[in-house]
Structure 1
Amino acid sequence: MSGEVPGVDVPDGRGRTGLDRTGLDLTGNPRVRVRKVELLSSSWYVLRRTTYDYRRRDGGWSTEQRETYDRGNGATVLLYDTERETVLLIRQFRYPIYANGHPDGMLIETAAGLLDDDDPETAIRREAQEETGYEIGEVEHVFDVYMSPGSVTERIHFFAAPYRADRKVSDGGGLADDGEDIELLELPFRKALDMIASGEIADAKAIMLLQWAALSGPFSGRDR
Structure 2
Amino acid sequence: MQNPNINIIKTEILSDNWYTLNKVTYTIAKKDGTTETQSREAYDRGNGAVILLYNKTSGTVILTRQFRLPTFINGNTTGMLIEACAGLLDNDNPEECIKRETEEETGYKISKVEKVFEAYMSPGSVTEILHFFIAEYSSEMKIADGGGLEEEGENIEVLEFSFEDALSMIDNEEIMDAKTIMLLQHLRIKNIV
Q: Which residue of 1 aligns with 2:106?
A: 132
Instruction: Give distance in 1, aligned partners of 2:170 and 2:154.
Output: 24
2:48 is aligned with 1:36: no
Task: Give the alignment of 1:166-177 within 5 angstroms.
Answer: 166-177=140-151
Q: Report the AA paired with residue 167 of structure 1.
A: M
Identity of counterpart residues, as a percentage? 53
The CA RMSD over aligned residues, in Å, is: 0.8
Greater strand share, structure number:
2
Distance in 2 between residues matched to 1:57 and 1:104, nearest whole Å: 46
Of 55, 61, 65, the residue aligned with 1:91 is 65
| Counterpart in the other structure of 1:196 | 170
Q: Which amino acid aligns with 2:139?
A: A
Q: Secondary structure at the match of 2:17?
A: coil
- 1:64 pairs with 2:28: no
Deviation at 1:59, TM superposition (A): 1.0
3-state SS, counterpart of residue 39 of structure 1: strand
* Superposed structure 1 runs of 4+ greater than 2 Å apart: none
Question: What is the match of residue 210 of structure 1?
Answer: 184
Q: Deviations over 1:60-88 (max 9, x none)?
A: 11001010000000000000000100000
- From 99, 102, 111, give the equivalent of 2:76: 102
Q: TM-score, normalised by structure 2?
A: 0.98
Deviations 1:152-199 (A, max 9, x none): 001100000000101111110000111111101100000100000000
Instruction: State the structure with more CA Rg.
Output: 1
Structure 2 residue corresponding to 1:48, chosen from 15, 22, 42 = 22
Distance in 1 between residues matched to 2:107 and 2:145, nearest whole Å: 5
| Whole-angstrom CA distance in 2 between matches of 1:185 and 1:40 | 38
Counterpart of 1:10? none
**Counterpart residue identity of residue 34, structure 1:** I
Q: Indicate the residue corresponding to 2:131 in structure 1.
A: 157
Any gaps of 5 or more consecutive residues in structure 1?
1-26, 220-224
Quote the Cα distance in structure 1 between the aligned partners of 2:23 and 2:191.
40
RCO (CA 8 Å, sep 6+): is it higher in 1 or 2? 2
Question: For residues 72-91 of structure 1, what are the structure 2 equivalents within 5 Å?
Answer: 72-91=46-65
Q: Which amino acid in the other structure matches residue 168 of structure 1?
A: K
